[in-house]
């Protein structure tokens, strides 16, 4: 089967990185004035040469986002179902070698969590698990979807990559969106960060969005974990991946996230630090490259940053998040995947959004439509 891997293999990480860092002010100006921006333009926009043009990029990003999405911000919240995991990931609290108590929510516990999330006003939920095929497998997901589908208008999932047949089985149960982050597109570093478990198979993960597209998943989310490798190069590969997928699976919608590595139990120091200015540059670069993609910001970021990013190009935001199974109601002290930076309630965030002249939108999809 033809997949993104075929395209990916024609690229060399070091050459791509060098070409990004070789971009000049003239390249950035060309990218800014283009009506349709190419992957080369994207390289210029994420390059160090674009730093002096940040305000121009932000203005343009705001305009393009307003035109396509208007003055609305989607609200979503994660629901962590399990912290069991058979992978070793050097940066994640759920890593197999992190010797802490593990938990997978039972149906009754899930409903206790759902009650709290619904009381916050949410209609969009993101189901999250570790990657343990023994406890959290396709049959478990079917049961969970069956259980919670009547309570939510839109259900997303961020779990282990699965086979095409599994995704096709889950769609009728109400699965709308699947998020699968590549973590890093640097093949060798990927191996270093994922030494054990099914996740160590770089190619299987890389080809997951292809399987999602073939299964007809309504929306898919891409991204890298910022901090593992050179973020400019990693994000170029994300843009390349998006570009490929949009052309091939033209009936799917796409979203991008830009999680920065956060502290967790057992912690890894980021190899690469990305400051706030650089994250704004990245968000704007994505928007200038792709006017239609949804851009999402999580509670990993600080309240100050999140307050100010609303107008710059993002389209969805989480709030009140707990990153541990049972965190909302059942077992608030269980193992978190990472520490959040913004602990404000959904109501507080909705207020911040409204004060900036935007509308927080709690429902923007309905399972009955698909």
Partner 1 sequence: MLKIADKTFSSRLFTGTGKFSSSALMEEALVASGSELVTVALKRVDVRNNEQDDLLIRLKYPHINLLPNTSGVRNAKEAIFAAQLAREALETNWIKLEIHPDPKYLMPDPIETLKATEELAKLGFVVLPYIHADPVLCKRLEDAGTAAVMPLGSPIGSNKGLKTIDFLEIIIAQSNVPVIIDAGIGSPSDAARALEIGADAVLVNTAIAVSGNPIRMATAFKIAVEAGRIAFEAKLASPVSHAVASSPLTSFLDA
Q: Which residues bind partner 1 (CB under 8 A)?
A: 66-72, 123, 153, 246, 250-253, 292, 354, 357-359, 361, 363-366, 368-370
Minimum Å gap between C-beta 238 and partner 1 is 17
User: Among residues 165 and 366, whose Cβ is nearest to partner 1?
Assistant: 366
Residue with tokens 């779990």: 159
Contact 218, 249 (CB under 8 A): no
Q: How far apart are CA 95 and CA 103, in angstroms?
A: 13
User: Among residues 10 and 150, whose Cβ is nearest to partner 1?
Assistant: 150
User: Among residues 180 and 245, whose Cβ is nearest to partner 1?
Assistant: 245
Minimum Å gap between C-beta 36 and partner 1 is 13
Minimum Å gap between C-beta 360 and partner 1 is 9
User: Among residues 218 and 232, whose Cβ is nearest to partner 1?
Assistant: 218
Minimum Å gap between C-beta 152 and partner 1 is 11
Minimum Å gap between C-beta 367 and partner 1 is 10
DSSP, residue by residue, 58-115: HHHHHHHHHHHH-SEEEEEEEEE-B-----B-TT-TT-TTS-S---B--HHHHHHHHH
Report which of 247, 252, 221 is spatially closest to residue 370, judged by C-alpha positions. Answer: 252
Minimum Å gap between C-beta 319 and partner 1 is 18
User: Among residues 258 and 358, whose Cβ is nearest to partner 1?
Assistant: 358
Minimum Å gap between C-beta 285 and partner 1 is 19
Residue with tokens 């969970």: 144
Contact 264, 337 (CB under 8 A): yes
* Distances, alpha carbon 203 to alpha carbons 159, 178, 228, 257, 295, in Å: 17, 18, 18, 21, 25
The answer to whether the Cα torsion of 84, 89, 92, 98 is positive or negative is: positive
Residue with tokens 């968000």: 283
User: Among residues 93 and 174, whose Cβ is nearest to partner 1?
Assistant: 174
Half-sphere exposure (Cβ direction) of 212: Cα atoms closer than 13 Å: 34
User: Among residues 66 and 272, whose Cβ is nearest to partner 1?
Assistant: 66
User: Among residues 194 and 218, whose Cβ is nearest to partner 1?
Assistant: 218
Minimum Å gap between C-beta 52 and partner 1 is 28
């Amino acid at each position: 089967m033809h997949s993104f891997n075929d395209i990916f293999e024609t690229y060399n990480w070091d050459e791509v990185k060098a070409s990004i860092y070789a971009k000049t002010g003239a390249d950035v100006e060309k990218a800014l004035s283009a009506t349709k921006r190419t992957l080369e333009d994207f390289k210029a926009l994420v390059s160090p040469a674009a730093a002096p043009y940040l305000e121009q990029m932000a203005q343009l990003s705001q305009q393009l986002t307003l035109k396509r999405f208007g003055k609305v911000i989607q609200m979503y919240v994660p629901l962590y179902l399990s912290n069991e995991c058979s992978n070793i990931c050097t940066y994640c609290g759920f890593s197999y070698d992190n010797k802490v108590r593990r938990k997978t929510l039972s149906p009754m516990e899930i409903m206790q969590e759902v009650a709290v999330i619904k009381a916050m006003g949410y209609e969009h939920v993101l189901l999250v698990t570790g990657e343990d095929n023994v406890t959290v497998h396709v049959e478990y997901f079917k049961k969970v979807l069956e259980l919670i589908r009547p309570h939510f208008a839109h259900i997303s999932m961020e779990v282990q990559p699965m086979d095409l047949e599994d995704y096709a089985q889950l769609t009728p149960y109400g699965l709308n969106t699947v998020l699968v982050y590549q973590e890093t597109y640097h093949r060798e570093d990927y191996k270093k960060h994922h030494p054990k478990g099914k996740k160590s198979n770089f190619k299987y993960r890389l080809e997951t969005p292809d399987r999602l597209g073939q299964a007809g998943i309504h929306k898919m989310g891409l991204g890298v974990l910022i901090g593992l490798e050179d973020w400019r190069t990693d994000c170029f590969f994300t843009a390349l991946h998006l570009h490929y997928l949009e052309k091939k699976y033209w009936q799917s919608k796409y979203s991008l996230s830009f999680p920065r590595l956060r502290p967790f139990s057992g912690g890894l120091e980021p190899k690469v630090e990305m400051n706030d200015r650089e994250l704004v540059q990245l968000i704007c670069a994505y928007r200038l490259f792709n006017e239609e993609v949804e851009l999402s910001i999580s509670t990993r970021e600080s309240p100050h940053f999140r307050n100010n990013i609303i107008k710059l190009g993002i389209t969805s935001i989480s709030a009140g998040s707990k990153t541990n199974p049972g965190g909302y109601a059942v077992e608030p002290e269980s193992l978190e995947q990472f520490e959040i930076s913004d602990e404000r309630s959904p109501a507080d965030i909705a207020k911040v959004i409204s004060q900036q002249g935007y509308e927080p939108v709690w429902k923007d999809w309905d399972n009955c439509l698909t």
